[in-house]
């Protein structure tokens, strides 16, 4: 009788493999986001043990069956970023060797995303991490606000780069009473695009801080500036001189745009080293801004960042919970958190049910 069961029911059983959500963190504060997502989806977190052995090796033991299931591995970056990556890779590989149907990584903040350009004799570390994740068996990645959108191209699996800006915009509209008198500020010309996208949505003006007071890393330390030891004209024709690129001169700090008597909202994607934000806040105060907010998606806030924020001219720092920062909040009450577990859980639900993701990307332009 079972053999003659209608094919539809067999097929349904096959596709409805079920959903398993794991958090690959051995650190308790990092599991918070996973718990929130599981709660919103109405499922229990999968049973798994992730721990460091005495010799600092990472061990992962999955304690339930994942055969034929859609597995979602949620990994938030803790202080020890390299351990975080190893936990993720080992967890994904364990799911793959346990015959999971699909393995989706949910990394709200993609580690090493700042190292996505070739510099001197360095390397593009983002590409290495992407290759390692694909090699471990990841079949899909969900992330938020990549430092550069082109990082998606480092993977040979689908990547969903969700945006946190709707949540931050909502915060501005609901929590900053006179936001109509605000101006969106880019602390450097590189983040001007992001500022423009915020300003256009809130129908506000934009200001850009240009120039630098502090010394950027000097190029002189690199050997490329040393003159050749022997004048060799073997390859180059004597009359052919390679034109020299004139070295950059950073002008003194100027603010392009008016911030006098306004609320200044500095927007960026990552806030880690707060020196540049503090310097920007000082500059804006001098130019007459009466309140200064900083908005960023990822609040890494490493080492002494909370103390510097507390002592600075910044009135409030608003970040999302892509990275756990409970300790930093205890040190600095100016830090506020926006919860983005809603969009991640919706992405997981849509992927699991095979629905379209475009709803989560509505009104998002090329530059956002």
Structural domains present in the chain: 19-162 (3.40.50.2020), 165-212+254-338 (3.40.50.2020)
Are the C-beta atoms of residues 335 and 28 closer than 8 Å to each other?
no
pLDDT at 216: 47
| Ranges in the chain, pLDDT < 50 | 1-16, 216, 218-219
pLDDT at 274: 86
**CA 304 – CA 308 distance, rounded (Å):** 6
Q: Which pLDDT tens digit goes with each residue over 193-234? A: 999 999 999 999 999 998 876 554 544 555 555 665 655 555
Give the Cβ contact number of residue 159 at 10 Å. 20
What tokens does 297 get? 């998606």
pLDDT at 129: 94
pLDDT at 7: 44
Which strands form 19-23's sheet, in the order they lie side by side? 19-23, 70-74, 102-107, 140-144, 159-162
CA dihedral 311, 313, 319, 324 (to 10 degrees): -10
**CA 32 – CA 349 distance, rounded (Å):** 19
CA dihedral 149, 153, 156, 162 (to 10 degrees): 10
In this prediction the pTM is: 0.84
pLDDT at 6: 45
Q: Which pLDDT tens digit goes with each residue over 106-131? A: 999 999 998 888 888 999 999 999 99
pLDDT at 296: 92
């Amino acid at each position: 009788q079972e053999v003659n069961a209608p094919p539809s029911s067999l097929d349904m059983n096959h596709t409805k493999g079920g959903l398993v959500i794991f958090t690959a963190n051995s650190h308790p504060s990092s599991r918070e986001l996973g718990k929130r997502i599981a709660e919103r989806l109405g499922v229990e977190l999968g049973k798994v043990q992730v721990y460091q052995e005495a010799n600092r090796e990472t061990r992962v033991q999955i304690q339930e069956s994942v055969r034929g299931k859609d597995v979602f591995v949620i990994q938030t970056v803790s202080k020890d970023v390299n351990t975080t990556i190893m936990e993720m890779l080992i967890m994904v590989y364990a799911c793959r060797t346990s015959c999971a149907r699909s393995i989706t990584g949910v990394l709200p903040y993609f580690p090493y995303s700042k190292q996505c350009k070739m510099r001197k004799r360095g390397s593009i570390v983002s590409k290495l991490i992407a290759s390692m994740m694909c090699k471990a068996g990841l079949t899909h990645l969900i992330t938020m606000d990549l430092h550069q959108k082109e990082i998606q191209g480092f993977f040979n699996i689908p990547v969903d780069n969700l945006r946190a800006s709707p949540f931050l915009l909502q915060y501005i509209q609901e929590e900053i009473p006179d936001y109509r008198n605000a101006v969106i500020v880019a602390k450097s010309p590189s983040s001007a695009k992001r500022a423009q996208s915020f300003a256009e949505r809130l129908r506000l003006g934009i200001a850009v801080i240009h120039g630098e007071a502090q010394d950027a890393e000097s190029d002189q330390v690199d050997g490329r500036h040393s003159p050749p030891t022997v004048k060799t004209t073997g390859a180059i024709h004597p009359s052919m001189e390679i034109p020299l690129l004139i070295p950059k001169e950073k002008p003194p700090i100027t603010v392009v745009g008016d911030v006098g008597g306004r609320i200044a909202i500095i927007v960026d994607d990552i806030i880690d080293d707060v020196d540049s934000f503090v310097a920007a806040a000082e500059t804006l105060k001098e130019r007459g801004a009466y309140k200064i907010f900083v908005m960023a998606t990822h609040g890494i806030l490493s080492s002494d960042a909370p103390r510097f924020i507390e002592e600075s001219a910044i009135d409030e720092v608003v970040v999302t919970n892509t990275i756990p920062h409970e300790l930093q909040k205890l040190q600095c009450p100016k830090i506020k958190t926006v919860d983005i577990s809603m969009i991640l859980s919706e992405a997981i639900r849509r992927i699991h049910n095979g629905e379209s993701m475009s709803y989560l990307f509505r009104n998002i332009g090329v530059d956002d």
